[in-house]
Chains A and B, each alone.
Chain A
């Protein structure tokens, strides 16, 4: 098998440096925390953006995840890698938030669904496509939605996604396979 199945481990010197940084954060060092946020932010934003449909919600999720991590930082063992721990926290938090939003959305009206608006046919078609796609994405399990959007929108490889989510490459491929099949079925007629 030619592919790497697990995420590569960080270099010992990097781990040591991260450990020192985390010890400083545990002691309440603001500069250390800022550095930690700066390092983790691009990756965290990307994952959050794929978990939440709205970019503002995604940013709120990232902020909540960092604050939650700081709340629990005393229980974190700095000799372990921070990234998988933080990613798990972010994904779990995103899942909860997404679930709550679903409930809220089902209680409010979708502006696109309101009758009476006069729109050109093409615009209506695009709107329908958006709605179908949104519904299909919403119906996917979180992990599948995350994987398919990271792969098909962001152009990440399954190896990169596996490293990001701390899972094997085969797991990522399985989620991708399932998600694409569901999306293609849901969007039959639109994208074929």
Chain B
């Protein structure tokens, strides 16, 4: 079984027999091309006249619109000062109390009693808690 691995040898007698059935077209390539293009003219005209459907319009503009939209929103976030201040201020005020307490507690080497006092009795904190700790 040799056929899967090699092309078979040419067979002149089979070729000659098959060639006897051959007839030649009277139309050359250029003529046939012209015939096809002429026959295709109405269809080509309808393709030209066609307005794009909404999903085609969206898919055409999507690759441009998405990056432009992202860039615009990023630029707006950077350039609009009011929004930046508002968000930054509110964050600072909320996070300030806890973070100040922790920084104060670990900024120098405290004694055990001072650390407890820092954690349990912050300055300006609850007077009841201060009293309880002092006792």
Contacts and interface: CB of A to CB of B under 8 A. Distances in A.
A70 B5 CA distance: 39
B44 A174 contact: no
11 contacts: A42-B29, A58-B25, A59-B25, A133-B21, A134-B21, A137-B21, A152-B11, A153-B19, A155-B10, A176-B8, A187-B17
Interface string B1-14: 00111011011011
A157 B18 contact: no
B27 A28 contact: no
B45 A28 contact: yes
A28 B32 contact: no
Given A41-B29, A133-B21, A180 B14 contact: yes
Closest A-B pairs by Cβ, 7 of them: A28-B47, A28-B48, A55-B25, A177-B3, A191-B13, A28-B44, A152-B15
Interface in B15-46: 15, 17-27, 29, 32-33, 35-37, 39-41, 43-46
B44 A152 contact: no
A27 B32 contact: no
A34 B19 contact: no
A157 B9 CA distance: 11
A62 to B, nearest CB: 7
Contacts of A176: 3, 8
Nearest to A161: B7
A130 B23 CA distance: 12
A174 B49 CA distance: 48
Given A30-B41, A66-B40, A187-B17, 20 more contacts: A1-B5, A28-B45, A34-B37, A41-B32, A45-B32, A49-B25, A54-B23, A55-B23, A67-B39, A129-B20, A130-B21, A137-B18, A148-B18, A152-B10, A153-B15, A158-B7, A173-B4, A174-B4, A177-B3, A183-B14
